[in-house]
Amino acid sequence: MKNIDSRGHVRGESIYLDDIPVQQGTLYGEVFDSPCANGIIRNIDYSKAAAFPGVFRILTSNDIPGENQIGGIIPDEPLFAETEVDFWGQPIALIIAESEEIAKEAKRLIKIDIEKRTPIVDPREARAKNSLIFPPRTFRIGDVKKAWNQCEHIIEGEADNEGQEHLYIETQGAYAYEIENGSIRISSSTQGPTAVQRTVAKVLGIGMHKIEVDVVRLGGGFGGKEDQATAWAVMAALGVHILKRPVKIVLHRLDDMRMTGKRHPYRSDFKIGLSKDLMILAYEATFHQNAGAAADLSPAVMERTLFHGTNSYFIPNAELTAYSCKTNLPPNTAFRGFGGPQGMFVIESAIAKAADILKVKAREIQEKNLLKDGDAFPYGQIAAQCLAGNAWNKASELYQVEKIEQEIDEFNKLNKHVKKGLAFQPICFGISFTNTRMNNARALVHVYHDGSVGISTGAVEMGQGVNTKMVQVAADIFSIAPDRIKLETTNTTRVANTSPSAASATADLNGKALHKACSAILERLKMQAARIHNAEASKIELKDNFVHLNGKQTETTWNQLIQAAFFDRISLSEVGHYATPEIHYDKSKEKGHPFAYHVFGTAIIIVTVDCIRGTYQFDSVKIVHDFGKSMNVSVDRGQIEGGVVQGIGWMTMEELMYNQEGKLISNALSTYKIPDIYSVPKEISIEHLETEGHDMAIQKSKAVGEPPLMYGLGAYFAIQNAVKAYNPNHELKFHAPFTPEKVLMGLYEGVGEKVKH
Ligand code: LUZ
Ligand code: MOS
């Protein structure tokens, strides 16, 4: 089925937050934020700004009727700073004015006097100073201390990654207005409508029942709106609560980049031990997560780093420890992969370094250690329906890897100043929120008495195509045309207590809930049809708009059946509730079965490096991916292509830089480079792995949102191999992104000296 949004998108008719018509009397909010990363507020003079014509009010922490607290997991984040500031861009006040322009003008008139303190920007420094968000955690399997003795080779090193700006095309924003009796309706560009509802209620000191959050769709989220859409919605609602006028806040791109958190930078140490025949016997890693100034989702992100610390390899003895380090950056947050990519980068770096020292190909080590059915992950779950080897083997055969390698060797011999590099990137990603209790969803279905259908779920459409999948589920069960079905906005009044659209689990969770609701209505309709045809319900089927009896089409249409059911006073509405079965996790032991299933795949990435300039172009990314049984191939391919490009961007060009004062200096699109149409690989081939699919996946179609991002990790190692082909003296470093500057340094370090080793 075609994406139901494609027509609206192409014609510019799709509704985003800023397209919602505003009510008469709407006011506009502008956030006044901290001009330094760490300091004590001595004085703020709002008088000139407050007196500026058109300014209605300046809201600060003093105006909050409930709690000045927006921390979702740990209550450690004020909505507005009170006496001190902990990061550059931290909200201090909200200026509410007649227009955005007036609010912006007024903001310039605020005078702030801050006593600056030295900020911490580096997570290792934070750990040394014991500045942690919460205590460290360790995952263990086997006995790593004993295993080192059995290792023929032991290799140690460091692997670091920087953050990543989400750069959703639609910036953060919210529009709130009063309905009546103090109830507030909020349109929010959020992945987590319930998080917004809960937090608004807490800050305003009123019940959640008075807050209705509605989401039409987002112009991208990528995790950046899982938690961090909340603050702006709360501010808008606070304005409504106090001024009794509609309030709209939409962040300017530069404000959004400065004030919001990003993917977590990590600083990590590894130690890997291999046997003579390249089996990984032992692995130790220590992760230092740069959480920023407040917890936000960092505890959950850190957990996923540990869950994915061994990627798709079986390592019998491993010890993974992670520290969530409190620094003076904006609180870092969810970003596609959610800590998984950071963990996987470290094991891939360890393997690359081992391969370099042992003078073997990384792919030999990778292949030998791939996870198999029955192998245990460090967190206790046993690999089942494991497709790591299948994906790897199919990729090797289908894309003729030996031949490609020969061609690359030839090319590198013939070309002095251009070199090619190749890397294999296997992935293994666990599907489910790592926090077991979040794995539930609901759906509400109404069949109207004309036979048309309205469905609501907790899923938020953010470009990933989940709405299309939801319509498919309903159309499939009722066996009616998709255009008889309307997908309603995501609304906390229709579907309550939702988990955010995140963790790649949105279509699974909401789809299964929808499946249950539709199935319940279907059962009632079959009984109705049975009455009409004097038959047993078990002999009835609904197919292609008609009632079928004993496998044959009858005269009764879907519409007639619905009419009859309606006249017979049969309920045509249903709520479905789904909670993922079988999953559990015991944090005290760090063991359990946290994931419904895993998604596997392998990518082969080939890059060409210009060895004069240090620039590069990706020739191809050749993928074999475990879709299960894809329910929508074009939607799923779109997710893979986008994920790959976003992953490559993070690994190669997107360079977030903070200076020593904790100020973001790559703070605009002129200094922060994301992949564009010219930097995407010339070829992205995507091949299905033929499998049955998994029962816990919606229609056996496996989750596809986050896993493909991690194919992009291979970009780093492909470039590294090309650099090595030019400069054998290049000493491997692991510090993503591998920008052209770093490539150039790598190409020329120690050139002219005798080759080492
Ligand atoms: N959000 C979350 C996520 O709260 N828990 C998760 O496990 C998760 N995983 C990926 C992306 N978002
Ligand atoms: Mo996400 S990183 O699944 O919000």
pLDDT at 401: 97
Give 756's pLDDT tier (boundaries 50, 70, 90). Answer: low
**Residue identifier of the C-alpha nearest atom 6 of ligand 1:** 433
For the beta carbon of residue 706, count every other beta carbon within 10 angstroms: 27
Q: How far is the CA of 220 from the centre of ligand 2 (A)?
A: 11
Q: Which atom of ligand 2 is nearest to the CA of 191?
A: 4
Tokens found for residue 227: 């938690």
**Residue identifier of the C-alpha nearest atom 3 of ligand 2:** 502
Residue to probe by mutation, ligand 1, list 225, 298, 433, most atoms within 8 Å of CB? 433
Q: Which atom of ligand 2 is nearest to the CA of 337?
A: 2
**Confidence check: pLDDT of 598 > 70:** yes
523/514 Cα distance (integer angstroms)? 14
Tokens found for residue 374: 């029955």
Q: How far is the CA of 335 from the centre of ligand 2 (A)?
A: 5
Q: How far is the CA of 304 from the centre of ligand 1 (A)?
A: 8
Q: How far is the CA of 630 from the centre of ligand 1 (A)?
A: 22
Q: How far is the CA of 603 from the centre of ligand 2 (A)?
A: 22
**Residue identifier of the C-alpha nearest atom 9 of ligand 1:** 503
Residue to probe by mutation, ligand 1, list 194, 222, 298, 301, most atoms within 8 Å of CB? 301
pLDDT at 750: 85
304 lines ligand 1 (CB under 6 A): yes
589/591 Cα distance (integer angstroms)? 5
**C-beta separation of 98 from 27 below 8 A:** yes
Residue 536: active-site member? no
pLDDT at 189: 98
> Can you tell me whether residue 209 is helix, strand or coil?
helix
Average pLDDT over residues 99-103: 98
Instruction: Please pick, among 178, 319, 367, 706, the residue that the annotation labels catalytic.
Output: 706
**Residue identifier of the C-alpha nearest atom 7 of ligand 1:** 433
Residue to probe by mutation, ligand 2, list 215, 262, 336, most atoms within 8 Å of CB? 336
What dihedral angle (degrees, nearest 10) is formed by the CA atoms of 533, 539, 540, 543?
-130
Nearest alpha-carbon partner for 135 in 74, 69, 223: 74
Q: Any residues with Cβ below 6 Å from ligand 2, and which?
A: 191, 223, 226, 334-336, 338, 502-503, 706
Q: Which atom of ligand 2 is nearest to the CA of 223?
A: 4
630 to each of 248, 476, 573, 625, 700, how far by Cα in Å?
A: 40, 14, 29, 11, 7
Give 169's pLDDT tier (boundaries 50, 70, 90). Answer: very high
- Which residues on neighbouring strands pair with residue 683, listed in sequence order? 620
**Residue identifier of the C-alpha nearest atom 4 of ligand 2:** 223
Give 690's pLDDT tier (boundaries 50, 70, 90). Answer: confident
Q: Which atom of ligand 2 is nearest to the CA of 338?
A: 2
pLDDT at 185: 98
What digits encode the pLDDT tens for the residues 190-236?
Answer: 999 999 999 999 999 999 999 999 999 999 999 999 999 999 999 99
Residue to probe by mutation, ligand 1, list 303, 333, 434, most atoms within 8 Å of CB? 434
352/356 Cα distance (integer angstroms)? 6
333 lines ligand 1 (CB under 6 A): no
Q: Which atom of ligand 2 is nearest to the CA of 335?
A: 2
Average pLDDT value for the chain: 97
What digits encode the pLDDT tens for the residues 497-541?
Answer: 999 999 999 999 999 999 999 999 999 999 999 999 999 999 999
**Confidence check: pLDDT of 388 > 70:** yes
Nearest ligand, CA of residue 195?
A: 1
Give 753's pLDDT tier (boundaries 50, 70, 90). Answer: confident
Residue whose structure tokens are 């036979």: 451
Q: How far is the CA of 339 from the centre of ligand 1 (A)?
A: 9
Give 755's pLDDT tier (boundaries 50, 70, 90). Answer: low
153/354 Cα distance (integer angstroms)? 8
- Greatest CA span in the chain, whole angstroms? 92
384/381 Cα distance (integer angstroms)? 9
Give 134's pLDDT tier (boundaries 50, 70, 90). Answer: very high
What digits encode the pLDDT tens for the residues 432-485?
Answer: 999 999 999 999 999 999 999 999 999 999 999 999 999 999 999 999 999 999
443/445 Cα distance (integer angstroms)? 7
Nearest ligand, CA of residue 335?
A: 2
338 lines ligand 1 (CB under 6 A): yes
Q: How far is the CA of 503 from the centre of ligand 1 (A)?
A: 4
pLDDT at 751: 79
**C-beta separation of 191 from 229 below 8 A:** yes
Which pTM value belongs to this model? 0.97
Q: How far is the CA of 338 from the centre of ligand 1 (A)?
A: 6
**Residue identifier of the C-alpha nearest atom 2 of ligand 1:** 433
pLDDT at 452: 98
Residue whose structure tokens are 């130790």: 284
Question: Distance between alpha carbon 539 and the CA centroid of its chain, in Å?
Answer: 45
Residue whose structure tokens are 């279907």: 522
Q: How far is the CA of 324 from the centre of ligand 2 (A)?
A: 18
